[in-house]
Amino acid sequence: MNKIYNPDPSQWLEILKRPTKTVEDIEETVSQIFSEVVKNGDAAITKYTELFDGFRPEETRVTAMEVDESRNRISQELKDAIFLAKTNIEKFHAAQKTERISVETSPGVKCWQEKRPIQKVGLYIPGGTAPLFSTILMLAVPAALAGCKEIIMCTPPDREGKVHPAILYAADLCGVTRMYKVGGIQAIAGMTFGTETIPKVYKIFGPGNQFVTVAKQLATRHNVAIDMPAGPSELLVVADETANAAFVASDLLSQAEHGADSQVILVSTSKNLIDEVEKEIENQLKDLPRKEIAEKAIANSKLIYLDNENDALEMINEYGPEHFIICTGNNDFYAENVQNAGSVFIGNYTPESAGDYASGTNHTLPTNGYAKQYSGVNLDSFMKSMTFQRISEEGIKNIGPAIELMAEAEGLQAHKNAVSLRLKELE
Local confidence pLDDT in tens for the 427 residues of the chain: 799 999 999 999 999 998 876 677 789 999 999 999 999 999 999 999 999 999 898 899 999 999 999 999 999 999 999 999 999 999 999 999 999 999 999 999 999 999 999 999 999 998 866 788 999 999 999 999 999 999 999 999 998 999 999 999 999 999 999 999 999 999 999 999 999 999 999 999 998 888 998 999 999 999 999 999 777 889 999 999 999 999 999 999 999 998 888 999 999 999 999 999 999 999 999 999 999 999 999 998 899 999 999 999 999 999 999 999 999 999 999 999 999 999 999 999 999 999 999 999 999 999 999 999 999 999 999 999 999 999 999 999 999 999 999 999 999 999 999 999 999 999 8
164 marked as binding residue: no
368 is in an annotated binding site: no
Pick the CATH number of 2-20+232-360 from 3.40.50.1220, 3.40.50.1980, 3.30.70.20, 3.30.2020.10: 3.40.50.1980
- On whether the CB atoms of residues 381 and 140 are closer than 8 A, the answer is no
The residues carrying an active-site annotation are: 322-323
Task: Return the closest-CA partner of residue 406 out of 395, 419, 394, 422.
Answer: 419
Q: What is the DSSP string of 356-387?
A: HHTSSS------TTGGGT-PPP-GGGGEEEEE
Q: CA 271 → CA 6, 233, 307, 347, 423, distances in Å?
A: 11, 26, 10, 20, 75
pTM beyond 0.75: the answer is yes
> Which strands make up the sheet holding 383-391, listed edge to edge?
101-106, 109-117, 383-391
The annotation status of 307 as a binding-site residue, yes or no, is no
Residue 356 labeled ligand binder: yes
Nearest CA among 123, 98, 95 for reference residue 385? 98
93 is in an annotated binding site: no
Half-sphere exposure of 259 (CA within 13 A, CB side): 19
Return d(Cα 83, Cα 358) in angstroms, integer: 9
Q: Are 265 and 12 in contact (CB under 8 A)?
A: no
Interatomic CA distance for residues 144 and 171, integer angstroms: 11
Find out whether 233 is annotated in a ligand binding site.
yes
Q: What is the reported pLDDT for 127?
A: 82
Identity (one letter) of the amino acid at 141?
V
> From the centroid of its chain, how far is CA 128?
18
Amino acid letter for position 241: E
- CATH number, domain 23-229: 3.40.50.1980
Contact 12, 166 (CB under 8 A): no
**Domain extents for the chain?**
2-20+232-360, 23-229, 393-425
CA 9 to chain centre: 29
11 is in an annotated binding site: no
Q: Identical fold at 2-20+232-360 and 23-229?
A: yes
Confidence (pLDDT) at 131: 85
**Sequence letter at residue 6:** N
Which one-letter DSSP state was computed for residue 321? -
d(CA 161, CA 50): 10
The count of other CB atoms within 10 Å of the CB of residue 5 is 11
165 close to 28: Cβ distance less than 8 angstroms = no
Pairing of strands 178-180, 109-117: unpaired
Q: Are the beta carbons of 245 and 64 closer than 8 angstroms?
A: no
DSSP 112-165: EEEEEE-SEEEEE---SSS--HHHHHHHHHHHHHHT-SEEEEE----TTS---H
